[in-house]
Amino acid sequence: MQSHDGCHTEPALSGKTEMGWDNNSDNNSGNKRPGGNDPWGGGGNNNQQPPDLDEVVKKLQESLSQIFGGGKGKRGGKGPRSIDPSDKTPNGGNGVKIGLGTLFGLLAAIWLLSGIYIVDPAERGVELYFGKYFDTTMPGPHWVPPYPVAQVEKVNVEEIRNIEIGYRSRGGTQSVGSVPRESLMLTKDENIIDIKFAVQYRVKDAKNYLFSVLNPDETLRQATESAVRDVIGKSNMDHVLTAGRADIASRSRDLIQEIADRYSTGLEVTTVNMQDAQPPDQVQGSFADVVKAREDKQRLINESEAYSNDLLPRARGASARIIAEAEAYREKVIVKADGEASRFTQVLVEYERAPEVTRKRIYIDTMEKVLSRSSKVMVDVDGGNSLLYLPLDKMVNRSSANRPAIEHKALSGGGSSAQSKSSSSRSDPRSRGR
């Protein structure tokens, strides 16, 4: 048909072909669309099914290309299709509206679906509505209004984190690097000690971990260093280096947790380990000498105690033996004296009765005792003089038997004679009584 300027243009598309919504390829192409406003090509048949998703997307693309002047027309060539301002087909405006509605619907669906999130078993989800805390979610699928209405922060609450005080691990290996600024601490007895700690912790409250403190991990590090210095400053050096390692670790853990709870960091301290404790490198030699001297002192004390434990029981035993012998001697002397006194009393009674007989009897007993100790033998011969007999063999045997005793007394010193004199005096009650 001719336009007003005499140029030839394509004939205006009917309502059935406007905006590319012609449904000539479907099975219900013979049905007419009432009013020509059905974008799906539907007619009066109630059993008609909607097209599949691929066909809808294809038609949406064609509609967008017609709206923005791009693509090829349905009947024309590859150039842009001219739109006749006089075209009054009602189907054209409705198709544009329906295409835009479909587009907006898809965008809205995608926007709403983007609000679905999944929390792992080791995590906790923190929901924020317009930047303000709303709720903490447990593991599992959840939904929140998408950005910019809400957002979700996920925090791993099962991960064990580590803080190193006084040293730094290098590349996950066993080698460590010392940090003197952190490791050198002052003890209660004013000694400097080089100590290293390792602290393990985890997140116990995701809300406080995210919002209470700006940097909770660095805050816990500073709290750990402060707590360790406080505990070391209240302990002696010997206690730290020897038997107090477990006690110091336990006290440090309690103090670190107290500080972390006071600042609401949302962190929980699980383990505190004292890696190493020793004097500074500058005084290692002197400290080794002190330790050696202390060990020598303890060794000498132990040796003296062992000697004392050996000597004292023997001395106590000897003392008890001497006391027992003295008690026995006292009893013997008393009994002997009592016996002598009793015998003297009896002799006195007999002497008073018969003085001459008693005197002779005493003389004979005395001579018997005296002569029994002599080596000389008197032989009385009838009718002649008495013969003095010396038993030389018995005298020789007696002298050889007495010689070792004499030598022993000579070797024992001058005190032996005094002891012999005292013993002889003890054996003779009459000499004591004089």
Highest-scoring range by mean pLDDT, 15-19, 181-185, 408-412: 181-185
By residue range, what is the domain housing residue 146? 116-156
Q: Do residue 106 and residue 43 come from a single domain?
A: yes
Which pLDDT belongs to residue 233? Answer: 92
Highest-scoring range by mean pLDDT, 96-105, 147-156, 174-183, 251-260: 251-260
Average pLDDT of span 249-266: 94
End-of-domain residue from the set 228, 249, 278: 278
Q: Count how many residues are written for the chain.
A: 434
Q: What tokens appear for 155 in the block?
A: 């925090």
Question: Residue 30 falls within a domain, yes or no?
Answer: yes
Total-model pTM: 0.48
Question: Residue 213 falls within a domain, yes or no?
Answer: yes
Q: Is 207 exposed, middle or buried (0-12, 13-18, 19+ CB in 10 A)?
A: middle
Q: Do residue 66 and residue 135 come from a single domain?
A: no
User: What is the spatial distance between Cα 225 and Cα 165, in angstroms, rounded to a whole number?
Assistant: 7
- Asked whether residue 331 carries a pLDDT value surpassing 90, the answer given is yes
The residue assigned the tokens 């140029």 is: 7
Domain total for the chain?
Answer: 5
DSSP structural state of residue 34 = G
Q: Do residue 137 and residue 152 come from a single domain?
A: yes
User: What is the spatial distance between Cα 152 and Cα 143, in angstroms, rounded to a whole number?
Assistant: 10
Q: What tokens appear for 75 in the block?
A: 């009947």
Orientation of helix 53-67 relative to helix 90-113, angle to 10°: 120
The CB-based long-range contact list for 213-222 (8 Å cut-off, 24+ gap) reads 213/263, 213/264, 213/265, 216/265, 216/266, 216/267, 217/161, 217/163, 217/267, 219/260, 219/263, 219/265, 220/163, 220/256, 220/260, 220/265, 220/267, 220/269, 221/163, 221/165
3-state secondary structure of 123: strand
Q: Do residue 31 and residue 57 come from a single domain?
A: yes
Q: Do residue 107 and residue 43 come from a single domain?
A: yes
> Do residues 155 and 209 lie in contact, with contact meaning Cβ atoms separated by under 8 Å?
yes
- Asked whether residue 360 carries a pLDDT value surpassing 80, the answer given is yes
Q: Do residue 30 and residue 98 come from a single domain?
A: yes
Binning pLDDT at 50, 70 and 90, where does residue 377 land?
low
Q: What tokens appear for 122 in the block?
A: 């080791």
Percent of the chain with pLDDT over 70: 63
Domain containing residue 173: CATH number: 3.30.479.30
Whole-Å CA distances, 152 to 26, 134, 139: 47, 10, 13
Question: Residue 94 falls within a domain, yes or no?
Answer: yes
Which pLDDT belongs to residue 430? Answer: 43
Q: Which of 113-127, 159-173, 251-265 has the lowest mean pLDDT?
A: 159-173
User: What is the spatial distance between Cα 42 and Cα 36, in angstroms, rounded to a whole number?
Assistant: 9
User: What is the spatial distance between Cα 146 and Cα 305, in angstroms, rounded to a whole number?
Assistant: 82
Question: Residue 173 falls within a domain, yes or no?
Answer: yes
Q: Do residue 35 and residue 52 come from a single domain?
A: yes
Q: Do residue 303 and residue 235 come from a single domain?
A: no
Question: Residue 6 falls within a domain, yes or no?
Answer: no
Q: Which of 210-219, 284-293, 334-343, 411-420 has the lowest mean pLDDT?
A: 411-420
